[in-house]
Chains A and B, each alone.
Chain A
Amino acid sequence: MLTYPQFQRAALNSLLVTAGAVALALPIGTLAALALERGRLRAPNLWAALLLSPLVVPGVAAGLGFLILAAAAGLLRSRAVLIAAHAALVLPFVVRSVWVSVRNLDPTLERAAASLGAPPRRVFFRVTLPLLRPGLFAALLFAVVVSANEFVVSLFISNRVTEILPVAMFSYVVNYTDPTIAALSSLFIAATFLMVWLADRYLGLGRVFLQH
């Protein structure tokens, strides 16, 4: 089963798409969370709703939207669309997780750093970012799990070459009936569980949720 070329390709696609989407969504989501909590936005609620909206838009609608957009941009054959779509879909999870950490951040710590002579950039990298770590780790985990398991939207915008693992599994089930797919499903579940367990073990996920 692991030797099936279409699954190997799909697994690689999954990896690339998830990595790309997370690399996009993590910095954007972090800055968005900081802006929502600290920035002087004119309509903060509107921004928050906009950033969290991918959660409530039905996958089919979002998928169709991305499909039309990608077709118009002539990007249907590339993974870029998948990466962009996944980034948008995981963004709400990133924003929410980091937002909690930003809320818990004591602004006097940043003032203290400034009074000790640290310019804003250094305050951000030496104080703000390290203190957001729990939220960033939670965001990373959510983003990876959501992106790796995303199916509906991906189905619309992938083709035989760019399709990610869940989509490849779906098309396999449509075309063939054999137990391969059950085995692969089990593997998929196991991989997701392993990821969550590792994150909990090494990143202290429990603490993230219990403390906040």
Chain B
Amino acid sequence: MDVLDLAVLEGEFLSLLGPSGCGKTTTLNLIAGFVEPTAGRILIDGEDVTGRPAHLRGLGVVFQSYALFPHLSVFENVAFGLRERRVSSAEMNRKVVEALALVRLEGRERQRPTELVRRHAAARGPGPRPGLPTPRAAARRAAGRAGPKAP
């Protein structure tokens, strides 16, 4: 990436568009602090954060590939950042429940993210040919194995 001059205003909803490989993801990685720029500066609220490690930038990132932690439950995934901020457990519970309600995932707290994906895949997977498990049966079977698997 060569010359980029980007200013985002407060409350602005901004989309970066461009052909693949043009540096959209690199730009976001630079802002988030996952990669360091070879030249130039990054300012947040007028403060220079160039060279500041990602965990001290306080930015929320939603990843293209989701990047959910496969070894943690849905609850623990959402609570990860709250734990790092040493939020009290009562407040953490409240915030996680709130966040999960927002995306209609109530009642799924103890499942693993892969479990939800597996059931989703089972619902879609099998075709309507006779003799093959119906989506419903496959989903039931997947649901039966709902407990977290050994590593």
Q: Tell me the smallest distance from the CB of B147 to a CB of chain A, in Å.
A: 14
Question: Across the two chains, which residue of chain A brings its CB closest to B59?
Answer: A115
Do B32 and A115 touch across chains, with their CB atoms under 8 A apart?
yes
- Chain B residue nearest to A114 (CB atoms) is B54
When the two chains form the complex, which single residue of A109, A118, A203, A204 contacts B67, counting CB atoms closer than 8 Å?
A109
Once the chains bind, are B84 and A106 in contact (CB under 8 Å)?
no
**Complex Cα spacing A116 to B58, Å:** 7
Task: Identify B85's interface contact among A112, A117, A127, CB under 8 A.
Answer: A117
With an 8 A cutoff between CB atoms, is B46 at the interface?
Answer: no
Q: Are B63 and A108 in contact (CB under 8 A)?
A: yes
Instruction: Check A113–B80 contact: CB distance below 8 A.
Output: yes
What DSSP secondary structure best describes chain A's contact surface?
A: helix
For residue B65, CB closer than 8 A to chain A, the reply is yes
The answer to whether A112 touches B151 (Cβ under 8 A) is: no
CB of A77 closer than 8 Å to a CB of B: no
* Cross-interface CB contact of A117 among B55, B65, B151, cutoff 8 Å: B55
| C-alpha gap A108/B25 in the complex (Å) | 12
Does B60 count as interface, using CB distance less than 8 angstroms? yes
- The tally of residues in B whose CB lies under 8 Å from a CB in A reads 26
* Docked pose: A106 CA to B67 CA in angstroms: 8
CB of A131 within 8 Å of the partner chain: yes
- Complex: how many Å from CA A109 to CA B65? 10
Within 8 A of B (CB), among A94-140: 106, 108-109, 111-120, 122-123, 126-127, 130-131, 133-134, 137
Per-residue contact bits, chain B 112-151, to A (CB 8 Å; 1 contact, 0 not): 0000000000000000000000000000000000000111
Q: Residue A108 contacts which of B53, B65, B80, B149 (CB distance < 8 angstroms)?
A: B65
Known contacts: A114-B54, A114-B55, A204-B150. The answer to whether A131 contacts B81 by CB under 8 A is no
The prevalent SS among residues of B at the interface is loop
Greatest chain A CB density within 10 A among B33, B71, B149 is at: B71
The interface centre, meaning the residue of A117, A118, A122 with most chain B CB atoms within 10 A of its CB, is A117
Report the separation of the CA atoms of residues A46 and B54 in the bound assembly, to the nearest whole angstrom: 32
A130 to B71, CA, bound (A): 7
Query: Distance in Å from the Cβ of B28 to the closest Cβ of chain A?
Result: 11
The reply to whether B54 and A115 contact each other, CB–CB distance below 8 Å, is yes
Residues of chain A whose beta carbon lies under 8 Å from any beta carbon of chain B = 106, 108-109, 111-120, 122-123, 126-127, 130-131, 133-134, 137, 202-204
Q: List 22 A-B contacts (CB under 8 A).
A: A106-B65, A108-B65, A111-B67, A113-B69, A114-B33, A114-B34, A114-B53, A114-B54, A115-B33, A115-B54, A116-B80, A116-B81, A117-B55, A117-B56, A117-B85, A126-B80, A130-B71, A133-B151, A134-B151, A202-B150, A203-B151, A204-B149
The 9 A-B residue pairs with the shortest CB-CB distance, nearest first, are A116-B81, A117-B84, A112-B67, A114-B54, A115-B61, A108-B67, A133-B151, A114-B55, A130-B71
